[in-house]
Amino acid sequence: MIVVNTEYIPGKRIVAIKGLVQGNTVRAKHIGKDIGASLKNIVGGELKGYTELLVESRREALSRMLAQAEELGCNAVVNVRFATSSITSGAAELYCYGTAVVVEEAPAPGGTV
């Protein structure tokens, strides 16, 4: 599956647009990570617990979006974007979306494929 945040894929042409696909996950903070984050706020530095949580959330949302694209018979997703929103105190949603498409090799300039 080709995944890009552009409208097109160099060397490919879009032959079918199947529509919007999305994936999301809602995650809550962990009390242990909150305590660690509070201490980091005093001395500064990366909040590694939250960084890991965000990486896991991004992977999960992307995986769910790609599963939708596969169900539609697509081999690529273009215009991929990520968004976040607060759901409630201590919980946030990470949302991933894009346009599911079918692509094939583009004809070579001046030739046929």
Alpha helices in the chain (DSSP H): 31-43, 48-71
In a domain, 111, yes or no: no
Q: What CATH code is carried by the domain that includes residue 35?
A: 3.30.110.70
Residue 67 pLDDT = 98
CA distance 77 to 100: 4
Half-sphere exposure of 105 (CA within 13 A, CB side): 6
SS3 55: helix
| Mean pLDDT of the residues in the chain | 87
Q: What is the mean pLDDT of residues 35-44?
A: 57
Identify the pLDDT of residue 51.
82
Q: Could you read off the pLDDT of 45-79 as tens digits, one per residue?
A: 777 777 888 899 999 999 999 999 999 999 999 99
Report the number of distinct structural domains present in the chain.
Answer: 1
Give residue 18's domain range.
2-105
pLDDT at 36 (0 to 100): 53
CA-CA distance, 12 to 4, in Å (whole number)?
12
User: H or E element: which one contains 28?
Assistant: strand 12-28
